[in-house]
Structure 1
Amino acid sequence: MEKPKRELILELKYSANDNLFSRPTEDTLGGRIKTARDACHLTVAQLARRINVLSKTLRSWERDCSKPHSDNLQMLAHKLDVLLIWLLGDDDTFAKSLMSQLGQIQKFLVL
Structure 2
Amino acid sequence: MRKKQNEMLISDAGDDTLGGRLSSARDAAGIEMKALANQLGVKHETLQAWETDRSEPRPSRLVNLAGILGVSPMWLMTGAGGGPIEYGVSDADAPLEAMASDLMRLKELHEETGRLINTLQRRLSGYRGEQMAE
Q: Is this a same-fold pair by TM over 0.5?
A: yes
Alpha-carbon contact 1:48-1:54 (below 8 Å) kept: yes
TM-score by length of 2: 0.49
| In 2: Cα distance, 1:48 partner to 1:24 partner | 24
Give 1:51 shift: 1.1
- From 28, 34, 58, the counterpart of 1:69: 58
Q: Secondary structure at the match of 1:82?
A: coil
In structure 2, the partner of 1:19 is none
Give 1:24 shift: 6.4
Q: Which amino acid aligns with 1:85?
A: M
Indicate yes or no: 2:83 matched with 1:84: no
- If asked which structure has higher relative contact order (CA below 8 Å, sep 6+), I would say 1
In structure 2, the partner of 1:29 is 18
Q: Which amino acid aligns with 1:38?
A: D
Distance verdict in 2 for CA 1:42–1:87, change over 3 Å: same
| In 1: Cα distance, 2:42 partner to 2:61 partner | 9
Q: How many residues align?
A: 72
Which blocks of at least 5 consecutive residues in structure 2 are unaligned? Answer: 1-6, 80-134
Alpha-carbon contact 1:26-1:35 (below 8 Å) kept: yes
Q: Secondary structure at the match of 1:75?
A: helix
In structure 1, the partner of 2:45 is 56
Q: Secondary structure at the match of 2:36?
A: helix
Alpha-carbon contact 1:24-1:35 (below 8 Å) kept: no
Which blocks of at least 5 consecutive residues in structure 1 are unaligned? Answer: 1-9, 15-22, 91-111
Deviations 1:8-56 (A, max 9, x none): xx97x97xxxxxxxx6611000000000000011111011011111100
In structure 2, the partner of 1:98 is none
Structure 1 runs, 4 residues or longer, greater than 6 Å off: none
CA RMSD of aligned residues (A): 2.2
Indicate yes or no: 2:24 matched with 1:38: no
Instruction: Give the structure with the larger helix fraction.
Output: 2
Q: Secondary structure at the match of 1:26?
A: helix
